[in-house]
């Protein structure tokens, strides 16, 4: 079975986000009152697995080993059948 997967990766709250701070300043200069801006990344992929539990387990391993830095980042996984 093929699953559509989305992995959202963001910095942990305790980690300084210079890109987010810079973006917040620019938005403020443009007249927007945006605060606490955090920059992250989203990874989309398709994965073949026997079931949703196996798919989630594989993606969790991918995130721990490559897609995210568990020391600095947190991630959440969404698995859907197409």
- Which residue range is the domain that position 49 belongs to? 2-80
Q: Give per-residue pLDDT as tens, 9-61.
A: 999 999 999 999 999 999 999 999 999 999 999 999 999 999 999 999 999 99
Sign of the dihedral defined by the CA atoms of residues 73, 78, 79, 82, in that order? negative
Q: Give per-residue pLDDT as tens, 65-80.
A: 999 999 999 999 999 9
Scanning the chain, the segments in alpha helix (DSSP H) are 18-29, 52-62
Sign of the dihedral defined by the CA atoms of residues 15, 16, 21, 23, in that order? negative
Give me the CATH number covering residue 21.
Answer: 3.30.1280.10
Angle at 13 between CA 7 and CA 17, to 5 degrees: 85
Round to whole Å and give the CA distance between 48 and 67.
18
Q: How many domains does the chain have?
A: 1
pTM of the model: 0.88
């Amino acid at each position: 079975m093929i699953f559509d997967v989305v992995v959202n990766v963001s910095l942990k709250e305790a980690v300084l986000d210079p890109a987010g701070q810079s973006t917040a300043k620019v938005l403020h200069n443009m007249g927007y009152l945006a605060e606490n801006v955090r920059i992250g990344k989203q990874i989309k992929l398709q994965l073949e697995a026997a079931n949703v539990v196996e798919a989630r387990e594989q993606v969790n391993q991918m995130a721990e080993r490559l897609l995210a830095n568990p020391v600095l980042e947190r991630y959440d996984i969404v698995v859907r059948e197409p």
